[in-house]
Structure 1
Amino acid sequence: MKKVVFGSVMAVTAVTAHAQSSVMLYGIIDVGLSYVNSAQTGKVGQHLNGGSQVALTDAHATGLSGSRWGLRGEEDLGGDLSAIFVLENGFMVNSGALAQGGAEFGRQAYVGLSSATSGTVTAGRQYDPVVFSLQQFSAPYWAGYMSAHVGDIDNLANTNRINNSIKYVTPSFHGIRAGALYSFGGVAGNQTQNQIWSLGFTYSGSALSLGAGYLNARNPNVSFYGNTPNKGLATADNLGSTGSATVPQSSPAFAGYASASTLEILGVGASYVLSQTTVTAVVTNTRFEGLGSTSGPNPFGFSGSAFFTSAELGVRTMITPTLLTGLAFDYTQRNSVKGDGGAKYMQLDFAVDYNLSKRTDVYALAVLQRATGRDSLGQAAVATISGFSPSATDKQIGLRIGIRHKF
């Protein structure tokens, strides 16, 4: 009897010792019907073919929140220190396929230590500090991926995560937080090849919020754009493609710059809350430097630098506690590369989101874009709303109605 009692006490003690550990299953399912007035189907010579399209798609393409499921865990280690981890899988709810290029945990996969007084250190596949510091000021924060600046040129819609990285985020001090990330290139004999580093800063006040971020990626065709299972090495163009007679182009705004030795993204943003209305502004500069290096193919013989400046002004309002509406205008301009005169992209974003409950909402999105000039593929610039196949012309309209459920 003494042995039974002793064993029972030890079992209760073990349960109590682990009572401060937790693992949570969470996720989002977001699916909708999308329409685009012009989507490429291929090209014959220099002529682009295309037509309108209606499709049932996951939000990874054009919606509010890409479908996902994840595990988030925390263990109290005592003394204001906790061990944490996140494993987050992205998938296409309309087909069941893996998102993020076929990566099992392509959205996030990291483990680390967290302290309320000292900050958080994590290692793995993670969001970079530019996303952490600027996404909240851009349209993708409330209008989804299709509202990203042309082709998500500045990654504010979080198209690309960072592999092999260590990140540190400070605790909040009077509304101020900062973060830093370093990704190891892992190349023997060359410590800077394929490396990525990034910094971010945010301030959150009662009405005014500010943010700034910077990212520097060496050999971005491999390190930044080529870090998922469906991507290739330096011999492939991981930024996009020139298309074919039966395959549409991909990311024509910047696909021609795969040979850049360095990618730099710098941005600042701000928001101001007026009762139920929030006004936002964000400006970014994305630079593909050292064109003509061995980082990727260079079929158009580019040299020098290509840089995109994007500016966005937005406003969103909670008309009722359950109904949000928002409008944004963004303008992106690229410099002249190899005497092509550059390119310009103007875009209007609109969203309406209605909450049926705390977990379920329905929404409608609309994006209109117009392109002028010459794009990176040496052709008259075509409109290219993020998530859709590029237009066969200089104009494109994307519409979506969808439903999102969080669990």
Structure 2
Amino acid sequence: MKKKLGLLTLLGAASGQAVAQSNVTLYGLVDTNIEYVSNFSAIPPTQQGFPGPSRNRFAMASGGLSGSRWGLRGTEDLGDGMKSLFVLESGFSSDDGRMQQGGRLFGRQAYVGLQRNGIGTVTFGRQYTSIFNALSDFSPTKYGSQYEPLGLQLGLNYRSDNVVKYVGSFGGLTANAYWSFGNGAAGAGEVAGQFRRDTGYGGALSYAEGSFGATAVYDQYNPTLSATTGATGSFRKFAVAASYEAGPAKLMGGYRWGLNKSATDAILLRDDYYWVGINYKAASALTLTLGYYYDDVKNLAGTKVKNPWQLSFIADYAFSKRTDIYLTTAYARHSGLNFDTSAINFANGYYLAAGKNSMTGVAIGLRHRF
């Protein structure tokens, strides 16, 4: 159960008037599972001989459907339709207790902002980009962290530092735009005299009315590609998606165009990414999800590779509003799971063994919200 903490309790120094006007919520989620993965490389990508021979892996993992986290969020009514707000959110691995996002205390989100009725919300700090927010309602697995190709779909900057973001809702239409002064998660961040370095920006328009929803979004990230010179590339993405609800079923699909270029304007990756999926409420406590993902890789640093595709399935049974048990599975072809090795090469990816062309993952887990 979410716990409402007055500022007097949280800080030990707030006045009675402040407590009456403000509130802070402690919240969190713990998600842990047991996982089996086939055709996993026995040699890590950082070692000589990668990819290595095929091995099956059994392990405990954190974040099957949702990344484990805890956080604080709060608001204060400033009067005249205005309020201030903040969010501090920390990610952790529930299997070993380690902090995520490079060991940051509040690596998932850390921002403060103002909201005005009829105008919208402006926030400042580490937060999600517009492309993440815009496509979240059109993800078959609701951004299931274990088996969805999020990095390829959204870009490595989908959670960025030093962001100012605006979100406004006007009837069924939502406008969303952001600017990052420098993403330090994967680059140097803000550097004097190098304004463009690691910057990012984007915007989205989304529509939801009744059973229909749609969105269009653009995102650009200018990452540091040379730590010595500070030279930057340009990673551009444009996506459209739509969904339709019919009785117990929700159908969705989308397309994402992508073009990543080096500092010399050479193509690092040009691809067209597609996905379709369905959520089906089979019973009051049981939800079934099926998702299909396909990446048409036009150019990968001057080469043509086999186009990877992945099929994902989830059966999620809710014991209550706070606790559920799930089975999540995925099968990938021409790549490791989540396309990690085919295009963006995540350091913690599902690396396909030498001589293998497919990978299967199966996990059974338990998720609890508080």
Tell me whether the two structures share a fold, i.e. TM-score over 0.5. yes
Matches of 1:29 and 1:317 in 2, distance apart? 24
Whether 1:136 and 2:134 are equivalent positions in the alignment is no
Aligned to 1:163: 161
Deviation of residue 266 (structure 1)?
Answer: 1.3
TM-score by length of 1: 0.77
Instruction: Output one character per residue of 1:110-163: Cα deviation in whole Å (capped at 9) or x when no partner.
Output: 001012211101000000010110122123406x123323x721228x874110
User: Relative to 1, partners in 2 of residues 1:331 and 1:128: Cα closer, same or farther, differing over 3 Å?
Assistant: same
Contact kept, 8 Å, 1:278 with 1:316, in 2: the verdict is yes
Among all aligned residue pairs of Structure 1 and Structure 2, give the percentage whose two residues are the same amino acid.
Answer: 32
Secondary structure (helix, strand or coil) at the match of 1:94 reads coil
Deviation of residue 40 (structure 1)?
Answer: 1.5
Aligned to 1:179: 176
Contact kept, 8 Å, 1:148 with 1:386, in 2: the verdict is no
Whether 1:398 and 2:361 are equivalent positions in the alignment is yes
Provide the aligned C-alpha RMSD in A: 2.8
* Amino acid aligned to 1:193: R
Matches of 2:121 and 2:264 in 1, distance apart? 39
Ranges in structure 1 where 5+ consecutive residues have no aligned partner: 1-13, 222-232, 236-258, 294-302
Instruction: Output one character per residue of 1:193-246: Cα deviation in whole Å (capped at 9) or x when no partner.
Output: 22111112211111100112111111255xxxxxxxxxxx836xxxxxxxxxxx
Secondary structure (helix, strand or coil) at the match of 1:48 reads coil
1:303-314 → structure 2 map (5 Å cutoff): 303-314=266-277
Matches of 1:343 and 1:78 in 2, distance apart? 58
Contact kept, 8 Å, 1:385 with 1:398, in 2: the verdict is no
Whether 1:53 and 2:52 are equivalent positions in the alignment is no
* Amino acid aligned to 2:351: P
Q: Which moved more, 1:21-30 or 1:283-292?
A: 283-292
Contact kept, 8 Å, 1:364 with 1:402, in 2: the verdict is yes
Deviation of residue 321 (structure 1)?
Answer: 1.6
Contact kept, 8 Å, 2:352 with 2:358, in 1: the verdict is yes
Whether 1:86 and 2:87 are equivalent positions in the alignment is yes
Deviation of residue 292 (structure 1)?
Answer: 5.2
Aligned to 1:11: none
Aligned to 1:321: 284
Matches of 1:203 and 1:129 in 2, distance apart? 14
Instruction: Output one character per residue of 1:333-360: Cα deviation in whole Å (capped at 9) or x when no partner.
Output: 2113455223311110100000000100
Secondary structure (helix, strand or coil) at the match of 2:236 reads strand
Matches of 2:299 and 2:224 in 1, distance apart? 21
Aligned to 1:37: 38
Q: Residue 204 of structure 1: which of 200, 205, 208 is its match?
A: 208
Instruction: Output one character per residue of 1:143-184: Cα deviation in whole Å (capped at 9) or x when no partner.
Output: x123323x721228x8741101100111x2121101111111
Aligned to 2:113: 112
Secondary structure (helix, strand or coil) at the match of 1:342 reads coil
Secondary structure (helix, strand or coil) at the match of 2:122 reads strand
User: Relative to 1, partners in 2 of residues 1:383 and 1:401: Cα closer, same or farther, differing over 3 Å?
Assistant: farther
Aligned to 1:226: none
Contact kept, 8 Å, 2:42 with 2:51, in 1: the verdict is no
User: Relative to 1, partners in 2 of residues 1:191 and 1:207: Cα closer, same or farther, differing over 3 Å?
Assistant: same
Contact kept, 8 Å, 2:84 with 2:114, in 1: the verdict is yes
Secondary structure (helix, strand or coil) at the match of 1:163 reads strand
Rg larger in structure: 1
Contact kept, 8 Å, 2:41 with 2:51, in 1: the verdict is no
* Amino acid aligned to 1:219: P
Matches of 1:325 and 1:155 in 2, distance apart? 24
Aligned to 1:296: none
Aligned to 1:368: 331
* Amino acid aligned to 2:327: A
Q: Which moved more, 1:334-343 or 1:159-168?
A: 334-343
Aligned to 1:270: 242
Contact kept, 8 Å, 1:345 with 1:369, in 2: the verdict is yes
